[in-house]
Chains A and B, each alone.
Chain A
Amino acid sequence: MKQVITIAILIVALFTSCTSEDNNRVFEPGKGVFVVNEGNYLAGNGSLSFYNLKNGTIYNDLFSAKNTRLLGDIPEYLAVDGSVGYIVVNNSGTIERIDMNTMQSTGTVTDLNSPRQMVIYNGKGYVSSLYSTKITVIDLSSFSVETQIEIGCTTEALAVSGTTLFAANWSGGSKVVALDLTTNSVIKSITTGMEPESMVIDKNGKLWVLCTGGWNNEEIPRFSVINTSTLVVESTLLFRTVSDNPSCLAISSGADTLYYIDEGIRRMPVTATEIATTVLAGAGTSLFYKVAPVPWKGMFCVTDAVDYTQTGRLLIYDKNGNLIDTEYAGIIPGFMRYTD
């Protein structure tokens, strides 16, 4: 009898704790994609969404639902370190630290100068800036600004290989700066095509830089492929004409397949010597903004910004480029990050 009562109590306690935890959840976690919705400029209506790949459900406005306040103006990027997430909010000049399971904010860094993206290395966050020529270093344990590194240009995309940080000088620039993270000093400025907009590192240690050719179409867009050891541009893959407008280079979880937006979604292996000639998924009536491959049945996700003023859509494709699901996300859905 005592055993029965004990078991009953344990069952009740277990049920109660699960229910309590469920009540705190604003989304159903699991394999899925977090979507950073940028919101309208100056409106402060940026938000965070999560699309659960297993149940095919999108959960919107996660940050506000949990923290009963706004996320801020133009959240741009989500960095993740284990169960801790860092949302870089560009126009508010903040970085929100959140618990990735509950979406609870656990801290905020403020007064940053137009932060754009963040990479994590050795317990520190390195933050690029659209206006400042410095990389901001955040001590993640105290979650405060530790120092700033002058690199001589504004920056956008970041990537880390070994102890080297690569920072792309996108706005009006044509170079990638290599920074030694052990000494916080600039190693080299590597000339690329005009306006390096996005970049990824493949499994062979090559840094792929997508250069848009300038906002005024000054030159043909291209990939500049940089050897992360020698810091030399090893190859250049040109697009078709100066009127092409590629964007958003992303890489698969295995770092062996590239995805990018070019009149639709294109895909090519990292061993390719020329750009992809076929479109994997056409845009149709959508306005493709960002693409992110997910390590789940070869699928990939694309955001549709509609007209960059209203609620956008998340489009989920299978590995063959067939649209399998469409969900409404937040306003101007942008950066995506897969988690499991």
Chain B
Amino acid sequence: MRLTIYIKDWVVSHPNPDSYREGGVRRLRSRGVVCQHPKEPSLQVPSRDFLFKPSKFLALTIVLLLLVTLKLMAGNTIPDTITVNTVTVTAMNHTRELPFSFHVVDSSLIASERSSDIGRLLQYSSPVIVKRYGTDGLSSLSLRGMSGTHTSVIWNGIEINAPLNGQTDFTLLPVFAVDKIQINSGGANLSGISGTIGGALVFSSDEMAVDGIALKCFTGGGNYGKNNAGVSFSAGNVKVESTTKLWFRNAENNFPFVNENAPGGPETLRRVNASSHMRGAMQDVSVSGQRQHFSAHLWFSDANRQLPSAVNTVQQDLGEKQQDMSIRAVLNYRYIGEKVKTEVITGYINELNIYDYQLAGVHGNNRSETYTLRSSFRLPTTDRFRFTLYIGDELQKATSLSFVKTHLRNMLSASAVSDFNLNERLLLQAQVRDIAVSGEKSVPEVTVGASFKTDRTGADILKANFSRNVKYPSLNDLYWSPGGNTGLKPEVSTGAEIAFSHSGERKKTVYSDYSVALFDARVNDLIQWAPGSFSFWEAQNLKSVNNGGVEVSATTFYNPGSARLKIMTSYALTRSVITGSDVANDASVGGQLIYTPYHVINAVVTGEYGIFRLQSSLLFNSKRYTVSDDSEYLKGYMVSDVSAGAVLKSKNTTFNIDISVDNLFSAAYESTKGYPMPLRTFMIDLLLTLNPKSYK
């Protein structure tokens, strides 16, 4: 008899010997029970996840109790005594019930884009705005109309934004390096050390995800000199696990494009000085006990890129190039008791950026180190009321050829989060945070929010929040010589959000998950570099901006028999309007921020039948203004990709082959003005997995 039980979003069923890991399926080898999570597994919301990730032991206990109950009801005889350990079942809020919006990137997309960078993956899979300087140039990500400096990027609990410019280059983040990606829109979550206004991207590594030994090897190649390869070796059991990853990615990027503004008329050229060579390594170790969990993560990355010139009337080969090297390390300890939960995270990041422009005699040498220590304590309270205290410290150290000296900055933060379940449906939450930044006056932050389950199953959740967030200037804004301004005030955002989330019924053949969020925020003291008193530019708090819009995401699953169809779509409407300026005669007031499209639409359709797989992707960006007074713009563009593949399996081996065509209709477009993107490109990817059943 097939037994199917629902526990919130978890489907528990008897084992299917023919089942294999796919998407969010996890396999528990204890007591022959398979737990299948058809949605994406709960992600590591930094410092919050451990509060909401269901304990495996607890889930198993509940399963056993229910099995016993159902057996009794069926009139079957079972052993009349089953001894189990005493278990306290505590109602814990699922991540969905948190009163702010988030979007989880589908794990199948992460798997299929393993040879790409995270910027490209997110562009197709989420309501974010990605701006790229060509194929492998700087890629920055914008949430809710703000810039890349307003987006926090968190990896296994520590922020990895470069302290110098406050940004993260997503071209340098390979998809292969992460296992889970969650996007937290807006700055309502105050559990981190430092603030964010646009939102946060949370990357994390799988932990305790392997039972046995497994090996993955992939390689791929395409036109314009693209080639890549990687290997992941994992070994683990119920107590300890280790995963080692190595990868590289190269491309010449000498693709053809049409220069419409060539002096002699439109001409077809090949992109020059655009090659990239990236490599990396990662080591993850996890040790898990009944109540304690320890993990260590180490990430090395090295990238050498040529920087192609902007193409206006001519393409110049200026010989610009750049090297980016980084080492990131995290240690994480968690203790989950019956009443008390605590987590301690410590991290270290060392980054090097070397820029060379020989023709101009311009060189850059930028180095930074970041030391992070974070801790959280969930204090013993009642079942309906929870109080968590977060304390964190981040020490930033940076040196640059454009700094007069090495600069240090310390950010010490303390935040408190209280959750109160008024009843089983209504959750109220309040957060406060204060950050003490060396040499700065602190600006307290606050979030108040609520979520309401409109039905008892929790399938539909209505949520709302109001928040006030702070973003401190980057070290370049403060200390760049000339022009850095130590008198800069932090940027402050005040806003609100209302959202609705629906989770479809898994047992149906067709079901959908969708969410809608409306947001509005006012940002004051926005930092802009503008001509100063002398003959150079200075960083100043010049403008105020109003960001408002709508974000919609929907995923539809259709599982008729052995076929599977998944349709993932998202849409973002963003109005980022400059509402005030300290610049005289500023015509930008009332206009849209540059490079913020009004509309972003993406869709991914994935179909599987037997061993075959077909995927089609679509991305649309509406026009983007390129001058602050909205006097010029880049026209909107639509790009379509398609890939077809097959999965061949033997007893202990899985072999995937995929052929993909990007920009199927050869659309000529630019993400950043003057940086043409490739027309149609091809790629073949091969993936060999040994012992795939070891993956839970």
Interfacial residues, chain A to chain B (CB-CB below 8 A): 40, 42-45, 69-73, 89, 92-94, 96, 105, 108, 110-111, 113-114, 130-131, 212, 215-217, 243, 245, 247, 284-287, 304-311, 313, 331
In the complex, whether B6 has a CB less than 8 A from a CB of chain A is no
Contact of A92 among B314, B359, B626 (CB under 8 A): B314
Interface segment among B222-230, B581-589, B638-646: the answer is B581-589
Q: Separation in Å of the A213 CB from the closest CB of chain B?
A: 9
Chain A contact residues: helix, strand, loop or mixed: loop
Q: Tell me whether A131 and B263 are in contact (CB under 8 A).
A: no
Q: How far is the CB of B535 from chain A (nearest CB, A)?
A: 6
Which residues on the B side are within 8 Å of A215 (C-beta)? 482, 534-536
- Chain B residues contacting A286 (CB-CB under 8 Å) are 584-585
Q: Give bound CA distance, A337 to B260, whole Å.
A: 29
Contact status B584-A43, CB under 8 Å = no
B627 touches A44 (CB 8 A): no
Residue pair A245, B533 in contact (C-beta under 8 Å):
yes
Nearest 6 A-B pairs (CB), nearest first? Answer: A44-B312, A285-B584, A108-B263, A310-B629, A70-B261, A69-B261
Who on chain A is nearest to B361 by CB? Answer: A131
B509 at interface, CB cutoff 8 A: no
Q: Which residue of B lies closest to A309 (CB)?
A: B628
Q: How far is the CA of A163 from the CA of B581 in the complex (A)?
A: 51
**Which chain B positions have C-beta within 8 A of A89?**
313
B261 touches A310 (CB 8 A): no
- Say how far A330's CB is from chain B's closest CB, in angstroms: 9
Q: How far is the CB of A195 from chain B (nearest CB, A)?
A: 9
Q: Given that A72-B313, A94-B313, A105-B263 are known contacts, is A313 also in contact with B531, CB under 8 Å in the complex?
A: no
Chain B residues 459 to 497 lying within 8 A of chain A, measured CB to CB, are: 482
Residues of B within 8 A of A42 (CB): 310, 673-674
Given the known interface contacts A40-B627, A131-B359, A131-B360, the answer about A245 and B674 at a Cβ–Cβ threshold of 8 Å is: no
Question: Could you tell me the distance between the alpha carbons of A71 and B534 in the complex, rounded to whole angstroms?
Answer: 29
Report which of B260, B314, B583, B674 forms a contact with A94, defined as CB distance below 8 A: B314
| Known A44-B261, A306-B584; 10 more pairs at CB < 8 Å | A70-B261, A94-B263, A113-B359, A212-B535, A245-B535, A307-B583, A310-B627, A310-B629, A311-B587, A311-B631
Q: Please encode chain B, from 308 to 327, with 1 for each CB lying within 8 Å of some chain A CB and 0 for all others.
A: 00111110100000000000
Task: Determine whether B505 belongs to the interface, using a CB cutoff of 8 Å to chain A.
Answer: no
B70 within 8 A of A: no
Does residue B67 face the partner (Cβ distance < 8 Å to A)?
Answer: no
Q: How far is the CA of A79 from the CA of B587 in the complex (A)?
A: 31
Establish whether residues A92 and B530, one from each chain, have CB atoms under 8 Å apart when the complex forms.
no
Compute how far the CA of A105 lies from the CA of B530 in the bound complex, rounded to whole angstroms: 34
**Is the Cβ of A44 less than 8 Å from the Cβ of B674?**
yes
Min C-beta distance of B185 to chain A, whole Å: 28
Of A40, A105, A114, which is within 8 A of B360 by CB? A114
Q: Which chain B positions have C-beta within 8 A of A113? A: 359
Measured between beta carbons, the chain A residues less than 8 angstroms from B583 are 306-307
Contacts A/B (CB < 8 Å), 23 sampled: A42-B310, A42-B673, A44-B261, A44-B313, A45-B632, A72-B312, A73-B310, A73-B313, A89-B313, A94-B314, A108-B263, A110-B263, A114-B359, A131-B359, A131-B361, A215-B534, A215-B536, A304-B585, A305-B531, A307-B583, A307-B628, A311-B631, A331-B627
Given A44-B673, A45-B632, A73-B312, are A307 and B530 also a contact pair (CB < 8 Å)? yes
| CB under 8 Å from chain A, chain B span 273-289 | none
Within 8 A of A (CB), among B256-310: 260-264, 310
Distance between Cα atoms of A311 and B673 in the complex (Å): 17
- Chain B contacts with A in 645-675, Cβ cutoff 8 A: 673-674
Q: Which residues of B contact A72 (CB under 8 A)?
A: 312-314
Most buried by A among B530, B583, B585: B585
* Chain B residues within an 8 Å CB radius of A217: 534
Instruction: Write out the residue numbers on chain B whose beta carbons fall within 8 Å of the beta carbon of A96.
Output: 263
Closest to B312 in A: A44
- Point out the residues of chain A lying under 8 angstroms from B585, CB to CB: 285-286, 304, 306, 313
The complex places the Cα of A286 from the Cα of B632 at a distance, in Å, of: 22
- Known contacts: A43-B674, A215-B482, A310-B588. The answer to whether A92 contacts B627 by CB under 8 A is no
Bound-state Cα–Cα, A276 to B18, Å: 91
In which size bucket is the chain B interface?
35 or more
A130, B360: Cα distance in complex, Å: 8
For A310, what are the chain B residues with a Cβ–Cβ distance below 8 Å?
Answer: 586-588, 627-629, 631
Residue of A nearest to B311 (CB): A44
Q: Let me know if A45 and B627 touch, CB within 8 A.
A: yes
A residues near B627, Cβ cutoff 8 Å: 40, 43, 45, 309-311, 331
CB neighbours of A44 from chain B (8 A)? 261, 310-313, 673-674
CB-based nearest B residue for A71: B313
User: Which of B594-645 touch A at CB < 8 Å?
Assistant: 626-629, 631-632
Determine whether the beta carbon of A69 is less than 8 Å from that of B260: yes
| Docked pose: A43 CA to B312 CA in angstroms | 7
A69 touches B536 (CB 8 A): no
Contact A70:B360 (CB < 8 A) given known A285-B585, A306-B587, A310-B586: no
**Neighbouring B residues of A245 by C-beta, 8 Å:** 533-535
With A45-B627, A245-B535, A310-B629: A69-B313 Cβ-Cβ less than 8 Å: yes
- Interface pair A216/B482, CB less than 8 Å apart: yes
Q: Which residue on A lies nearest to B532, using beta carbons?
A: A245
B103 to chain A, nearest CB (A): 32
A308-B530 contact, Cβ under 8 Å, with A110-B263, A114-B360, A286-B585: yes
* Complex: A94 Cα to B530 Cα, angstroms: 28
Residue among A70, A72, A216 with most chain B CB within 10 A: A70
How far is the CB of A288 from the nearest CB of chain B, in Å? 11
Max count, chain B CB within 10 A of own CB: residue among A69, A72, A304: A69
Q: Is the CB of A92 within 8 A of B313?
A: yes
B311 cross-chain contacts in A, Cβ below 8 A: 44
> Are B312 and A331 in contact (CB-based, < 8 A)?
no
B535-559 contacts to A, CB under 8 A, are 535-537
Distance to closest chain B CB from A67 (angstroms)? 9
Do the beta carbons of B482 and A92 come within 8 Å of each other?
no
Query: How far apart sit A72 and B7, CA to CA, in the bound complex (Å)?
Result: 63
A230 to B489, CA, bound (A): 55
A305: B residues at CB distance < 8 A: 531
Contact A307 B360 (CB under 8 A): no
Chain A residues near B628 (CB-CB < 8 A): 307, 309-310
- Contact partners of B262 in chain A: CB under 8 A: 69
Q: Which of the listed residues A108, A284, A286, A307 has the most CB atoms from chain B within 10 Å of its own CB?
A: A307
A331 to B587: give the CA distance in the assembly, Å.
Answer: 12
Which chain A positions have C-beta within 8 A of B531? 287, 305, 307-308
Contact partner of B631 among A71, A130, A285, A331, CB < 8 A? A331
A contact residues around B360 at 8 Å (CB): 114, 130-131
Task: A96 to B310: give the CA distance in the assembly, Å.
Answer: 18
Q: How far is the CA of A304 from the CA of B587 in the complex (A)?
A: 13
Which B residues between 137 and 159 are near A, CB-CB below 8 angstroms? none
CB nearest to B583 among chain A residues: A307
With a cutoff of 8 Å between Cβ atoms, the chain B residues found around residue A94 in the complex are 263, 313-314
- Cα A231 to Cα B670 in complex, Å, equals 52
Distance between A52 CB and nearest chain B CB, rounded to angstroms: 22
Q: Which of A73, A284, A304, A305 has the most CB of B within 10 A?
A: A73
CB distance from A334 to the nearest CB of B (A): 13
CB distance from B272 to the nearest CB of A (A): 13
Alpha-carbon distance A48/B412, docked complex (angstroms): 52
| Chain B, 219-271, CB within 8 A of any chain A CB | 260-264
- CA distance in complex: A40, B533 (Å): 20
**Whole-angstrom distance between the alpha carbons of A72 and B261 in the complex?**
9
Q: Report A314 CB to chain B, min CB distance, Å.
A: 13
Contact A92/B534 with A44-B261, A311-B587 known, Cβ cut-off 8 Å: no
What is the chain A residue whose CB lies nearest that of B626?
A43
- Smallest CB gap from A107: residue in B: B263
Cβ–Cβ < 8 Å partners of A285 in chain B = 584-585
Residues of B within 8 A of A111 (CB): 316
Q: Name the distance in Å between B163's Cβ and chain A's nearest Cβ.
A: 25
Chain A residues positioned under 8 Å from B313 (CB to CB): 44, 69-73, 89, 92, 94, 108
